[in-house]
Amino acid sequence: MRGVLLASLAFLSSASLAAASIPPAPPSPNIQVKVISFAATPAAVTCGGGASARLVVGAPIAPRTWQIWTPPVPTPDYVPPKAPTSQTFTFSINGDGRVTDLKGGGSNLWLNDDQAATIASWRFAPNAPATGCSVDLAPTVTALAEASPAKLLEVAAGLSRGAAPELYKVLDATGDCYTGAHRRPATWVYPDTRPFDGKSVDPPSAAVTFDIDAKGATRNVKAAIQHGDPGLAKATVAAVTKSRYFPGTARTGCRVFIKARPAVSDPPPRPEHDAFRRPEDKCDIKREEMNLPAPMTFPPAFGYRGVGGWAIVRFDVAPWGDIGAVEVLAAQPAQAFGQAAELLVSSARPKPAGVGYHGCVIPIIYQMPPSSGDAPS
């Protein structure tokens, strides 16, 4: 009886589906992928009053991919966005040659934080403070199919948060390393990056390509691109040459990226947060009583570049412990630290005190740990 019932239900379900009007699957959206490159690192920038600030050391702005989405069914009034030819950041330079008051970007077509973090790591000549400085990154656009293999490797190696999947498809087409079952490493040798770590805000990097034979040995190991000290690329080639995979089908077109850790940029000097208190503020809560989330979320792009910062935040606390009226009073060296601190304070959960607080002011400091590890023997 149960089998008859199940069969009847199945028949009814099939009949219902057949009678229903099921719309066809929507067409796939049209996504174009472009490669965005930026102007070379300038030797100097123009500041207020026409003064010129000399750049001592500055990492280049990493190229990236940009995905342009267009509707699957074009409409007459739809115009695809155009990439801007200008992307200007403004900033000041303190007495130590550090970038402060960094603002701008002017485009939501890619993540400005990646470019801002790079500029925040730049070092200018000390003892020459300046305001009203600016730099135009002057982005240029290249179709993915027209970009050189070296440029595609540079994009994949330089991005802290990944490139478009289509870029890796183009790179993967140069061999069969990433098709089918991947070869598993039996012994992978890492290069010793300690001689290169923490030496500069523009650390060396390299992309190394190689093949794998049927026995698992690496073959045709070579540095496809290198930036900065060539010693890191040589060390990576030597390490990959010593690496071994388990036996299997021979593969070609494998790749690995390596980058030394940048020198840490400590947070710039900050004013005493008590200077921001108002006469009407009534708050005696301490930062230690805030129950702030741990660990604090470091602005990702700035953490990748090793750039520290701070923010001074004002807020209220309800008698039951909820946080409200969060306001960023100051942040350095860039707005991203204020945004991160605002989210952090908003998520705090202080213990209910039975009384409310108004106008609490605390500093939030983002300090990177030292970048250099144990010194090589």
Question: For 264-308, how does the pLDDT look when each residue is reduced to its tens digit (9 = 90+)?
Answer: 999 999 998 888 999 988 888 877 788 888 777 889 899 999 999
Q: Read off the pLDDT band of 371 (50, 70, 90).
A: low
* Whole-number pLDDT of residue 15: 36
Residue 336 has pLDDT above 70, yes or no: yes
* pTM for the predicted model, two decimal places: 0.84
Higher pLDDT, 329 or 77: 329
Residue 22 has pLDDT above 70, yes or no: no
Residue 14 has pLDDT above 60, yes or no: no
Question: For 191-216, how does the pLDDT look when each residue is reduced to its tens digit (9 = 90+)?
Answer: 999 999 999 999 999 999 999 999 99
Residue 274 CB contacts under 8 Å (≥ 6 apart), including other chains: 361
CA distance 173 to 164: 15
Higher pLDDT, 22 or 250: 250
Question: For 80-139, how does the pLDDT look when each residue is reduced to its tens digit (9 = 90+)?
Answer: 777 788 889 999 999 999 999 999 876 555 667 889 999 999 999 999 999 999 999 999
CA distance 136 to 54: 16
238-254 in b/e form (b: 16+ CB < 10 A) is ebbeebebeebeebebb
* Whole-number pLDDT of residue 222: 96
Question: For 39-88, how does the pLDDT look when each residue is reduced to its tens digit (9 = 90+)?
Answer: 999 999 999 999 999 999 999 999 988 887 777 776 778 777 777 888 89
262 by DSSP, 3-state: which?
Answer: coil
Average pLDDT in the chain: 85
Q: What type of residue sits at position 33?
A: V
302-334 in b/e form (b: 16+ CB < 10 A) is bebbbbbbbbbbbbbbeeeeebeebebebbbbb
* Whole-number pLDDT of residue 296: 77
Least-confidence region, from 30-34, 88-92, 116-120, 159-163: 159-163
* Whole-number pLDDT of residue 91: 97
Least-confidence region, from 122-126, 171-175, 229-233: 171-175
Higher pLDDT, 6 or 133: 133
CA distance 126 to 299: 26
* Whole-number pLDDT of residue 354: 81
Map tokens 């991919």 to a residue: 65
Q: Read off the pLDDT band of 7 (50, 70, 90).
A: very low
Domains and CATH numbers, the chain: 30-145 (no CATH), 179-259 (3.30.2420.10), 273-366 (3.30.2420.10)
Higher pLDDT, 6 or 321: 321
Question: Closest Cα to residue 321, out of 347, 341, 344, 339?
Answer: 347
String of DSSP letters for 39-67: PPPPSEEE-GGG-EEEEEE-PPPPPEEEE
* Whole-number pLDDT of residue 45: 96
Q: How many CB atoms lie within 10 A of CB 335?
A: 21
CA distance 236 to 204: 12
Question: Closest Cα to residue 266, out of 197, 341, 342, 366?
Answer: 366
Contacts of 96-99 with C-beta under 8 Å, sequence gap 24+, read: 96/126, 96/268, 97/56, 97/123, 97/124, 97/125, 97/126, 97/127, 97/128, 98/123, 98/124, 98/265, 98/268, 98/333, 99/124, 99/333
Contacts of 270-278 with C-beta under 8 Å, sequence gap 24+, read: 270/310, 270/312, 270/330, 270/332, 270/363, 270/365, 271/312, 271/330, 273/312, 273/361, 273/362, 273/363, 274/361, 276/312, 276/314, 276/329, 276/330, 276/361, 277/359, 277/361, 278/359
